[in-house]
């Protein structure tokens, strides 16, 4: 059985990321005199970063193939513009039903993705070039549609998806003086229960095959730690207005993509392609179609992010989505994706995205100017990737 | 200075790579005014010897000494040896396709002053050297507009521009047609007779060697076997051809192959009239009208040299991974089977164990478990969700069955030794439940013990009725393992031999007879 140290070393990259995230949060918590951990601020943190996290999930698949998608920011602008025209400023005054408009927006995202996927997968235009072209094309078309103007306001129903909170089952539930969002607490408890059960299940399975597992004490400590942290955040949200709608959507997306990448045939195909495309192809994987679907998926998620961004801003603007692709790419690489492809996890990309989001938020509160924020984020990205390469070079010796 | 007529002498050259002795006390003497042929099987050490000579392996990385023009040489790199007048022309031409003939000729040696190129001088000098090799073209022509034969001439002219005194040509005619080959040999003679330039010709074409060589050195397994002086006066060529073949392959076949008592059944796999064109050069046939059959429980060998088209044959059958304009039919159990995509080929029970496991066979950054199931994930998945318990169980079964030495199936494939990696590739394909198993160089680069194990596995599969097609460049392996042997040469099947009675000499004769 491997010693604890060896096990830690094996998963060094993951632990480093989580520890860095936790440390940064605690440091900001202290530096801001607790403002950082206030329910309002944490809620804002989620709302501000939700679209980048959604994009990071899609971008992870691109980085797994050793590529990126540069067009997502422009697709956000383009789809946002279409939403704006459909809902705020419909031609001939025929306002669209928000549900129908959202459905159309997703379809448009899929069409954009299929367009880019086609060039990448079947014409073999390098993804960098194809999506660079997409970046120019869709930013341009977005501006054409908006004619340089901002479209606002959106219908209430549309705004709610981005800025609303889940309803409570009991009105005005209180414990003593403090009001508490009951449904949020219940959901939090369910999630914790689910994680504990699946961890037990996983451990049992690993043990029955004689694989190395953490010593039981440390394992219990780890699971307990996760449970406590999750419950702590749940309570903080419950103290404000409960879970934001976006957080629920984000949670479902992250769990869904985590499942697809780790447990399904399609997910395995993506990793195999990223690890060795020739071997994957010679093993019968239809590598062209895998590439096609990855880029189609990316644009669908971009359309989703576009709606959330537009709804939150309550406007469709020609500048929407600028540099979103860079934030998403940075999230993936900070979160442990390998530049050469084949390595990376959905959870890692989300942690990486959160890390950058926490840096943004914390630095804003303590009054560091945005110019410096930009520069600091750049250094964080560089050191994350350099650390990755360094530790890989050392372990391969 | 005493002149014994010897231009170049390599004495007792020994070069070891980790674990392998590539050259073992090799001697080579090249006289002034001669064309010296260097022959041997793939891996005999020809290329390594020439790399030692040209400074690819600088002095100190090998033992022995090199005398050029009677002086001891210690080259530190290629430029150094070129300066002395030793120029090597590799099999894959080293020309920059979009640059002109003149530009290519003086790459690294530009006709320039203060770093500014004098184009008139460049063209003028180019013309001079082009004339020497009989290349009648505009020096401004980009080389990709020239045929392969003329590109070869550009390479030779380039070598002359470097003041070459000895030219080393590594299989220069392998990509040329007959006419261009003739022309090239004429040039070598002319350089020898009129310009005092000797050449070392590495070639697998014995007729060529017989036609042009003044002496022939034979290498086998990193050792000099002998040097034959060809007496031009007599028709010595025909006699020495047998002698050359014997020298190239005359090794003992020791008992390195497990015994097998096989009972072959009906024909399971058949390929008819298979013709494939080269995708890089769509006018050239890579494979020409190939017909083969493989029976149940039979191990059929596909012998030939590197480049004969064996891998291309396998990969064109297997889902048309290679090739253009493919024609021909494949039959499984007597019924025509469409193997047009790799997944379809797998569904039909065809498995192809690739050559070069690191590049084509494995995802090195994934675990043994993930590599094992990759080719048929749907076998352990329901509604596309992988059953992890099932996956672990399957990988464990193959780990034990093939005796993969690893602490755990969660070990990364990249961390395994060559032999164990090869077993993982085998696991992957056996996991796909094949009826027809194509093995491409399955024992290359692995140690003797692991080889024996792989042979035993192949025999076991054949005993269970698997139809095996074994591609190998190691002749003892082909003879030791196979029931029947097809010999392939330059895209054609040139012989079909029974495995029991075939000899290395016989196979080599069919390889070289094309």
Tell me the chain B residues in contact with residue A212 when contact means C-beta distances shorter than 8 Å.
408
Q: What is the pLDDT of residue B292?
A: 93
Kindly determine whether residue B363 and residue A278, on different chains, have CB atoms separated by under 8 Å: no
3-state secondary structure of B198: strand
Kindly determine whether residue B385 and residue A281, on different chains, have CB atoms separated by under 8 Å: no
Is B345's Cβ below 8 Å from some Cβ in A?
Answer: yes
- Quote the minimal CA–CA distance from B274 to chain A in Å: 20
Kindly determine whether residue B343 and residue A286, on different chains, have CB atoms separated by under 8 Å: yes
- Portion of chain B with pLDDT greater than 70, in percent: 96
Q: What is the pLDDT of residue A256?
A: 95
Is B384's Cβ below 8 Å from some Cβ in A?
Answer: yes
Tell me the chain B residues in contact with residue A278 when contact means C-beta distances shorter than 8 Å.
359-360
Is B343's Cβ below 8 Å from some Cβ in A?
Answer: yes
Among the partner residues B342, B345, B377, nearest to A268 by beta-carbon distance:
B377
3-state secondary structure of B39: strand
Kindly determine whether residue B388 and residue A263, on different chains, have CB atoms separated by under 8 Å: yes
Q: What is the pLDDT of residue B93?
A: 77
Tell me the chain B residues in contact with residue A279 when contact means C-beta distances shorter than 8 Å.
354, 359-363, 374
More confident residue, B122 or A208: B122
Q: What is the pLDDT of residue A151?
A: 87
More confident residue, B397 or A98: B397
Which of A151-155, A281-285, B19-23, B484-488 is least confident? B19-23
Q: Which two tokens stand for residue B130?
A: 């082009």
Nearest CA in chain A to B381: A265
Tell me the chain B residues in contact with residue A269 when contact means C-beta distances shorter than 8 Å.
377
- Portion of chain B with pLDDT greater than 90, in percent: 36
- Confidence class for position A59, pLDDT limits 50, 70, 90: very high
- Confidence class for position B1, pLDDT limits 50, 70, 90: very low
Is B387's Cβ below 8 Å from some Cβ in A?
Answer: no
Among the partner residues A212, A278, A343, nearest to B365 by beta-carbon distance:
A343
Q: Which CATH superfamily is domain B1-85+165-251 in?
A: P-loop containing nucleotide triphosphate hydrolases (3.40.50.300)
What are the pLDDT digits (tens) for A228-255? Answer: 988 988 988 888 888 888 889 999 999 9
Q: Is A88 exposed, middle or buried (0-12, 13-18, 19+ CB in 10 A)?
A: buried
Question: What is the Cα gyration radius of chain A?
Answer: 22
- Region B396-406: mean pLDDT is 90
Nearest CA in chain B to A279: B360
Q: What is the pLDDT of residue A396?
A: 56
Residues 6+ positions from B4 with CB-CB distance below 8 Å? none
More confident residue, A174 or B116: B116
Kindly determine whether residue B374 and residue A268, on different chains, have CB atoms separated by under 8 Å: yes
For residue B358, the 8-state DSSP code is: I
- Confidence class for position A1, pLDDT limits 50, 70, 90: very low
Kindly determine whether residue B360 and residue A266, on different chains, have CB atoms separated by under 8 Å: no
Tell me the chain A residues in contact with residue B314 when contact means C-beta distances shorter than 8 Å.
none
- Confidence class for position A91, pLDDT limits 50, 70, 90: low
Backbone angles phi, psi at B507, to 5 degrees: -60, -45
CB A278 within 8 A of CB A43: no
More confident residue, B460 or A161: B460
Domains B1-85+165-251 and B254-349+434-514 share a fold: yes
- Quote the minimal CA–CA distance from B356 to chain A in Å: 10
- Quote the minimal CA–CA distance from B111 to chain A in Å: 38
Q: What is the pLDDT of residue A397?
A: 46
Which of A153-167, A362-376, B191-205, B248-262 is least confident? B248-262
Q: Which residues of A touch B (CB under 8 A)?
A: 205, 209, 211-212, 263-266, 268-269, 271-272, 275-276, 278-286, 342-343
Kindly determine whether residue A282 and residue B354, on different chains, have CB atoms separated by under 8 Å: yes
Among the partner residues B360, B377, B385, nearest to A279 by beta-carbon distance:
B360
Kindly determine whether residue B366 and residue A285, on different chains, have CB atoms separated by under 8 Å: no
Kindly determine whether residue A272 and residue B341, on different chains, have CB atoms separated by under 8 Å: no
Residue A177's CB is within 10 A of a number of other CB atoms, namely 5
Element (H, E) at B184: helix B178-195
Among the partner residues A209, A275, A283, nearest to B375 by beta-carbon distance:
A283
| Pick among B363, B372, B375, B384 to test the A interface (most A CBs inside 10 A) | B363
| Site of tokens 């989001």 | A357
pLDDT at B385 over 60: yes
Kindly determine whether residue B389 and residue A205, on different chains, have CB atoms separated by under 8 Å: yes
Specify the CATH number of the domain A4-164+244-392: 1.10.3470
- Quote the minimal CA–CA distance from B302 to chain A in Å: 21
More confident residue, A385 or A211: A385
Q: What's the fold here for domain B254-349+434-514?
A: Rossmann fold (3.40.50)
How many contacts does A have with B, using Cβ atoms within 8 A? Answer: 81
Tell me the chain B residues in contact with residue A280 when contact means C-beta distances shorter than 8 Å.
363, 374
- Quote the minimal CA–CA distance from B318 to chain A in Å: 9
Looking only at the bridges linking them, the beta strands covering B267-278 and B324-332 are antiparallel
Q: How far apart, in whole angstroms, are the C-alpha atoms of residue A283 and residue B351?
A: 9
Q: How far apart, in whole angstroms, are the C-alpha atoms of residue A130 and residue B196?
A: 56
- Quote the minimal CA–CA distance from B362 to chain A in Å: 6
The domain ranges of chain B are 1-85+165-251, 94-163, 254-349+434-514, 362-433
Element (H, E) at B278: strand B267-278
- Region B254-272: mean pLDDT is 81
- Quote the minimal CA–CA distance from A69 to chain B in Å: 23
Q: How far apart, in whole angstroms, are the C-alpha atoms of residue B387 and residue B380?
A: 6
Q: What is the ipTM of this complex?
A: 0.82
Among the partner residues A211, A265, A275, nearest to B363 by beta-carbon distance:
A275
- Quote the minimal CA–CA distance from B301 to chain A in Å: 22
Backbone angles phi, psi at B228, to 5 degrees: -105, 130
Tell me the chain A residues in contact with residue B370 when contact means C-beta distances shorter than 8 Å.
268, 271-272
Q: How far apart, in whole angstroms, are the C-alpha atoms of residue A63 and residue A339?
A: 7
Ranked by mean pLDDT, which of A210-214, B224-228, B425-429 comes out on top?
B425-429
Nearest CA in chain A to B358: A279
Nearest CA in chain B to A206: B389
The domain ranges of chain A are 4-164+244-392
Q: What is the pLDDT of residue A296?
A: 97
What are the pLDDT digits (tens) for B11-51? Answer: 899 988 776 678 888 999 998 889 999 988 777 888 889 88
Q: How far apart, in whole angstroms, are the C-alpha atoms of residue B91 and residue B99?
A: 20
**Which residue from A251, A315, A369, A271 is spatially nearest to A83, judged by alpha carbons?**
A315
Tell me the chain A residues in contact with residue B406 when contact means C-beta distances shorter than 8 Å.
none
pLDDT at B252 over 70: no
Kindly determine whether residue B408 and residue A276, on different chains, have CB atoms separated by under 8 Å: no
Nearest CA in chain A to B354: A282
Is B354's Cβ below 8 Å from some Cβ in A?
Answer: yes
pLDDT at B236 over 70: no
Kindly determine whether residue A342 and residue B375, on different chains, have CB atoms separated by under 8 Å: no
What are the pLDDT digits (tens) for A170-210? Answer: 776 777 677 788 888 899 999 999 999 988 988 888 788 77
């Amino acid at each position: 059985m491997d010693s604890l140290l060896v096990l830690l070393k094996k998963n060094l990259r993951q632990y480093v990321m989580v520890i860095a995230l936790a440390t940064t949060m605690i440091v900001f918590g202290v530096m801001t005199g607790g403002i950082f951990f206030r329910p309002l601020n944490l809620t804002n943190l989620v709302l501000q970063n939700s679209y980048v996290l959604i994009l990071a999930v899609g971008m992870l698949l691109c980085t797994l193939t050793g590529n990126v998608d540069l067009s997502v920011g422009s697709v956000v602008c383009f789809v946002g513009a279409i939403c704006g025209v459909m809902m705020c400023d419909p031609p001939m005054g025929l306002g669209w039903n928000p549900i129908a408009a959202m459905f159309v927006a997703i379809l448009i995202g899929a069409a954009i993705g299929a367009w880019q996927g086609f060039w990448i997968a079947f014409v073999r235009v390098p993804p960098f070039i194809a999506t660079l072209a997409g970046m120019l094309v869709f930013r341009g078309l977005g501006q054409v549609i908006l004619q340089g103007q901002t479209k606002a306001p959106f219908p209430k129903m549309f705004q709610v998806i981005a800025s609303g909170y889940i309803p409570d089952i009991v009105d005005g539930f209180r414990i003593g003086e403090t009001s508490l969002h009951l449904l949020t607490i219940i959901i939090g408890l369910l999630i914790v229960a689910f994680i504990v059960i699946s961890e037990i299940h996983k451990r049992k399975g690993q043990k029955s095959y004689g694989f190395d597992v953490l010593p039981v004490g440390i394992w219990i400590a780890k699971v307990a730690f996760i449970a406590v942290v999750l419950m702590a955040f749940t309570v903080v949200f419950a103290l404000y207005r409960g879970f934001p709608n976006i957080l629920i959507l984000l949670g479902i997306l992250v769990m869904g993509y985590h499942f697809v990448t780790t447990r399904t045939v399609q997910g395995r195909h993506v990793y195999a392609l990223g690890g060795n495309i020739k071997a994957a192809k010679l093993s019968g994987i239809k590598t062209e179609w895998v590439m096609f679907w990855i880029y189609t998926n990316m644009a669908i998620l971009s359309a989703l992010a576009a709606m959330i961004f537009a709804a939150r801003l309550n406007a469709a603007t020609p500048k929407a989505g600028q540099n979103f692709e860079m934030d998403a790419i940075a999230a993936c690489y900070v979160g442990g994706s390998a530049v050469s492809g084949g390595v990376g996890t959905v959870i890692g990309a989300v942690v990486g995205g959160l890390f950058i989001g926490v840096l943004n938020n914390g630095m804003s509160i303590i009054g560091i100017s945005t110019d410096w924020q930009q520069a600091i984020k750049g250094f964080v990205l560089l050191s994350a990737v350099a650390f990755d390469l360094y530790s890989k070079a050392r372990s391969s010796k | 200075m005493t002149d014994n007529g010897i231009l170049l002498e390599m004495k007792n050259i020994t070069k070891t790579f980790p674990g392998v002795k590539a050259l073992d006390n090799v001697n080579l003497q090249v006289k002034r005014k001669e064309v010296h042929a260097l022959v041997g099987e793939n891996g005999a050490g020809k290329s390594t010897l020439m790399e030692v000579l040209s400074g690819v392996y600088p002095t100190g990385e090998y033992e022995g000494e090199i005398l050029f023009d009677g002086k001891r040489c210690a080259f530190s790199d290629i430029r150094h040896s070129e300066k002395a007048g030793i120029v090597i022309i590799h099999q894959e031409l080293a020309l920059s396709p979009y640059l002109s003939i003149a530009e290519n000729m003086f790459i690294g040696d530009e006709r320039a002053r203060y770093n500014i190129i004098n184009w008139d001088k460049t063209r003028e000098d180019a013309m001079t050297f082009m004339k020497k090799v009989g290349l009648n073209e505009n020096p401004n022509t980009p080389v990709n507009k020239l045929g392969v034969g003329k590109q070869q001439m550009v390479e030779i002219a380039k070598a002359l521009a470097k003041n070459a005194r000895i030219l080393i040509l590594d299989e220069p005619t392998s990509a040329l047609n007959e006419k261009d080959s003739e022309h090239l040999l004429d040039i070598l003679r002319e350089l020898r007779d009129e310009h005092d330039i000797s050449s070392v010709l590495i070639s697998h074409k014995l007729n060529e060697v017989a036609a042009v060589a003044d002496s022939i050195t034979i290498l086998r397994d990193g050792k000099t076997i002998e040097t034959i002086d060809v007496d031009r006066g007599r028709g010595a060529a025909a006699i020495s051809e047998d002698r050359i073949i014997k020298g190239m392959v005359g090794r003992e076949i020791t008992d390195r192959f497990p015994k097998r008592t096989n009972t072959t059944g009906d024909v399971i796999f058949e390929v008819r009239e298979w013709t494939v064109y080269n995708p890089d050069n769509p006018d050239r046939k890579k494979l020409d009208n190939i017909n083969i059959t493989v029976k149940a429980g039979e191990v059929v060998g596909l012998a030939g040299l590197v480049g004969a088209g064996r891998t291309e044959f396998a990969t064109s059958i297997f889902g048309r991974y290679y090739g253009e304009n493919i024609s021909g039919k494949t039959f499984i159990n007597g019924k025509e089977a469409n193997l047009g995509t790799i997944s379809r080929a797998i569904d039909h029970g065809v498995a192809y164990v690739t050559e070069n496991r690191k590049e084509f066979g494995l995802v090195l950054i994934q675990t043994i478990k993930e590599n094992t199931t990759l080719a048929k994930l749907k076998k352990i998945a329901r509604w596309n969700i992988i059953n992890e318990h099932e996956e672990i169980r399957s990988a464990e079964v193959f780990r034990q069955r093939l005796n993969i030495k690893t602490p755990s199936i969660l070990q990364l494939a990249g961390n395994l030794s060559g032999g164990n990696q090869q077993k993982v590739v085998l696991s992957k394909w056996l996991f796909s439940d094949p009826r027809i198993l194509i093995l491409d160089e399955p024992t290359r680069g692995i140690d003797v013990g692991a080889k024996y194990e792989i042979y035993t596995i192949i025999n076991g599969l054949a005993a269970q009725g698997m139809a095996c097609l074994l591609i190998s460049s190691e002749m003892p392996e082909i003879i030791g393992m196979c029931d029947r042997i097809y010999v392939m040469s330059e895209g054609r099947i040139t012989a079909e031999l029974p495995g029991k009675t075939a000899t290395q000499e016989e196979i080599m004769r069919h390889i070289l007879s094309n």
